[in-house]
Amino acid sequence: MRDEIQHLLDSGRASDFLMAVLDGEPGERLRPGVVPPFAQDLASGTIWVDGRGTDIPTQEAVLRLAAGILGVGYDELHQRDRRRRLRTIAGWIAFAVALGAVVGGILWQQHLQREALEPLAQEAAFVEYREARIREEIDGDPVLGTGNMVVVQRAEDLNGDGLLDFFARDSEPGVCGSAGCPMGLYMTRSLGDSYESVLSLYGLGGVPQTREEEGHEFKAVLGEDFVVDGAPIYSVYRWDGEAYALSEYEFHCAGTATEFCGPSGNRILPADEHAVAISAGVPLRVAPHAEAQPIWQSLSEYDPDEMRIVGHVEGTTWYLVQSWKTFCGFVDAADRAS
């Protein structure tokens, strides 16, 4: 090391030495052995770096050493470093702003999606879609194309996809009859864009009910297509993979007939309407039981030729018979001609 220092001094390159103070006071005589005697004058030169009181070089110390090594002014190098740091900071700010814009856009889209999934928003989107389809069907008829054409009776997620499905009546004049207005069940495939009709219901029955059933992904739909002495016959529809299809009927009795129904009611399996012939004068009863009272005292008030078999009461000889429109009664196998 001493030889190298001596060589630089002999070569007239004393200015290449950079003074760094790590301890003591600048200008004071160094202890013997710290530097060679011939280099003592260097210790009183210009201080380039003051490293006292720290184990880690500061940013300023590094810049001062770099300026000395490169042979440029410290102020110039300091300004260049400052501009570099400003550019770095500006780059990070720009990145943060861009990232914030992207995240903000995503959050805003999520907010809009949540709003669109609100029940009222889903219903409004369905009504708008359905009314547009009706207007296409009636081809702008000025009489039929006015008023509220679609009335939503019930909105419920039937298959757990997070989207509401709709029971709705087309109540525009011209589509309703004496048995009421047709009601359809529409499954939402794409909110506001695609709805599939999966069940058609008719009659004077009220709003269909639904229920979850073990082993079934889709909820069952219970419609009131028939009545017996004012008590509803529930038509149970289940999902068959493509649409809702009639599975069975349920009768839970009502009024004076409650004693003829068990706690789970009567399960009635659909039967071909021409499976049996109804004899003239057979009594239609309010429940599938021989002691249940007839629906009408005068049995001549209905025509057997107008009757049709609706279903067979499971585990019995009784049948559910439709007498007129939605009105039904029960007849026993002993009271019919096969």
Two tokens at 6?
């001596």
Lowest mean pLDDT among 35-44, 58-67, 154-163, 223-232: 35-44
* Alpha-carbon distance values, 36 to 1, 14, 44 (Å): 10, 14, 14
Task: Give the pLDDT of residue 117.
Answer: 60
**Residue 89: band (very low, low, confident or very high) from pLDDT cuts 50, 70, 90:** confident
Which tens digits make up the pLDDT trace of 286-320?
888 888 888 864 444 566 667 789 999 998 889 99
Sign of the CA dihedral 269, 274, 276, 281? positive
Q: How confident is the model at residue 220 (pLDDT cuts 50, 70, 90)?
A: very high
The DSSP 8-state label assigned to residue 67 in this structure reads: H
User: CA nearest 188: which of 200, 199, 196, 176?
Assistant: 196
Characterise 15 by phi-psi region: left (phi > 0), alpha (psi -120 to 50), beta (else): alpha
The Cα 278–Cα 310 span in angstroms is 12
Q: Is the pTM of this model over 0.75?
A: no
Q: Select from 218, 203, 213, 223 the least CA-distant residue to 154.
A: 223
The pLDDT, as a whole number, for residue 307 is 78
Element (H, E) at 141: none
**CA-atom Rg of the chain in angstroms:** 46
Per the CB < 8 A criterion, the answer to whether 186 and 130 are in contact is: yes
Q: CB within 8 A of 102, min separation 6: which ones?
A: none
Residue 207's pLDDT band (cuts 50, 70, 90):
confident
- Percent of the chain with pLDDT strictly greater than 70: 59
Average pLDDT over residues 257-268: 73
Instruction: Give, as one character, the DSSP assignment of residue 255.
Output: G
Nearest residue to 63 (alpha-carbon basis) of 51, 53, 78:
78
Question: Beta strands of the chain (E only): which ranges?
Answer: 19-21, 47-50, 150-156, 165-170, 183-190, 194-201, 209-211, 220-228, 231-239, 244-251, 266-270, 308-313, 318-324, 327-332
- 212's enclosing H/E stretch is none
Strands (E), 194-317: 194-201, 209-211, 220-228, 231-239, 244-251, 266-270, 308-313
Question: What is the predicted pLDDT for the residue at 266?
Answer: 87
Distance (Å, whole) CA 43 – CA 25: 10
pLDDT(278) > 80:
no
Give the pLDDT confidence score for residue 338 in this predicted structure.
41
- Residue 57 is encoded by which pair of tokens? 């070089």
User: How far is it, in rounded angstroms, from Cα 314 to Cα 19?
Assistant: 108
Q: What is the DSSP letter of 172?
A: S
Higher pLDDT, 150 or 49: 150
